[in-house]
């Protein structure tokens, strides 16, 4: 939860700041906004177990693109249980949905992917390749974490909006089959973002997770310090270097094929033979 909290707070405060900004007449601290910030942070921390349970539950499903039926059903029920109105099969996609709560402006839209990767089944918290089911898909890119942190932020803000009668609409949606075709384009064509004031998209950070292992002093810390870092694309590599990591392998394009090609070149350079 440590690395996710800044994102949660950012998402939360965008809703709360909008109506308050209209009331502000001078560039000076707003006591009410400061109070809201403190409340949101406290509420998010109090929901840590709830968020972790969502993360683990979605991890357990491990469904490929367009097959995220259990994941979608789980999230739809959870959102409805917390007062959201949910439209299923959005844009004609069986596992897509749009959940909304509130009314009026601003309309803040939260999205995150839910599909996983072929043959990426893996026991959590293990630093070596150890599949739960050999050959099965798994959440190798953290797509099990984005919607849980979005929902946690939304519920923290929703609580304050209900209490203080603040205007605004919260919208939550899943990125379906991101590893295949990127269904967000179909959402755009269907008009999902037509009246939206801001979109916040959440994606897990492998770099942040790795740095936590290095800095946290846990059982993997020593291995993490000495490990060679391979990055799937230039953006990831730049963030890794910014955090002080030594990047040995960098894919020229953000793709699995690009990463495999970079790993092959690294192997051939090290060992003097074809991988």
d(CA 169, CA 237): 36
What is the SS3 string spanning 193-227?
Answer: CCCCCEEEEECCCHHHHHHHHHHHCCCCHHHHHHC
**In sequence order, which ranges of 47-90 are alpha helices (DSSP H)?**
48-61, 69-81
* Phi, psi torsion values for 153, nearest 5 degrees: -60, -45
pTM of the full structure: 0.74
Strand partners, 231: 250
Domain ranges of the chain: 5-204, 207-271
Percent of the chain residues past pLDDT 90, beyond the cut = 53
Predicted confidence at residue 85, as pLDDT, reads: 98
The answer to whether the beta carbons of residues 183 and 177 sit under 8 Å apart is yes
Predicted confidence at residue 153, as pLDDT, reads: 94
Predicted confidence at residue 105, as pLDDT, reads: 94
Predicted confidence at residue 22, as pLDDT, reads: 53
Q: Give the pLDDT of the chain (275 residues) as one tens digit per residue.
A: 444 555 555 555 555 555 555 555 555 778 888 899 899 999 999 999 999 999 999 999 999 999 999 999 999 999 999 999 999 999 999 999 999 999 999 999 999 999 999 989 999 877 678 899 999 999 988 899 999 999 999 999 999 999 999 999 999 999 999 988 878 999 999 999 999 999 999 887 667 766 776 676 666 566 666 666 788 778 788 888 888 788 888 887 767 677 778 888 887 887 776 65
Helix/strand/coil for 68: coil
- The answer to whether the bond into 106 is cis (omega within 30° of 0) is yes
CA distances from 190 to 91, 116, 153, 167 (A): 6, 24, 26, 25
Predicted confidence at residue 203, as pLDDT, reads: 81
Predicted confidence at residue 10, as pLDDT, reads: 53
Predicted confidence at residue 265, as pLDDT, reads: 84
Predicted confidence at residue 28, as pLDDT, reads: 75
Look up the CATH number of domain 5-204: 3.40.630.10
CA quadruple 51, 57, 59, 62: dihedral positive or negative? negative
Could you report the per-residue pLDDT of 1-26, keeping only the tens digit for each?
A: 444 555 555 555 555 555 555 555 55
* Phi, psi torsion values for 111, nearest 5 degrees: -135, 155
CA distances from 187 to 111, 114, 229 (A): 11, 15, 35
> How many other CB atoms are there within 10 angstroms of residue 29's CB atom?
8
Predicted confidence at residue 1, as pLDDT, reads: 44
Predicted confidence at residue 2, as pLDDT, reads: 45
Question: Which is nearest to 33 in space by CA: 202, 201, 196, 166?
Answer: 166
């Amino acid at each position: 939860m440590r690395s996710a909290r800044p994102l949660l707070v950012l998402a939360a405060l965008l809703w709360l700041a909008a109506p308050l900004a209209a009331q502000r007449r001078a560039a000076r601290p707003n006591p009410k906004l400061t109070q809201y910030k403190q409340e949101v942070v406290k509420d998010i921390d109090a929901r840590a177990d709830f968020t972790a349970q969502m993360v683990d539950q979605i991890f357990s499903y491990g469904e490929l693109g367009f097959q995220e039926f259990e994941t979608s059903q789980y999230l739809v029920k959870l959102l409805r249980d917390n007062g959201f109105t949910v439209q299923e099969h959005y844009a004609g996609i069986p596992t897509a949905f749009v959940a909304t709560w509130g009314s009026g402006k601003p309309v803040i839209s939260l999205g995150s992917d839910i599909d996983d990767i072929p043959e990426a089944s893996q026991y959590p918290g293990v630093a070596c390749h150890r599949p739960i089911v050999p050959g099965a898909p798994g959440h190798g890119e953290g797509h099990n974490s984005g919607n849980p942190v979005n929902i946690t932020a939304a519920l923290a803000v929703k609580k304050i909006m209900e209490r203080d009668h603040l205007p605004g609409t919260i919208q939550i949606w899943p990125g379906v089959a991101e590893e295949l075709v990127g269904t967000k384009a179909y959402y755009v064509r269907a008009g999902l973002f037509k009246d939206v004031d801001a979109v916040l998209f959440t994606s897990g950070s492998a770099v942040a997770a790795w740095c936590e292992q290095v800095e946290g002093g846990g059982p993997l810390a020593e291995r993490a310090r000495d490990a060679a870092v391979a990055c799937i694309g230039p953006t990831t590599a730049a963030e890794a270097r910014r955090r002080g990591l030594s990047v040995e392998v960098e894919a020229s394009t953000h793709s699995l094929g690009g990463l495999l090609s970079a790993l092959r070149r690294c192997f051939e350079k090290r060992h003097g033979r074809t991988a």
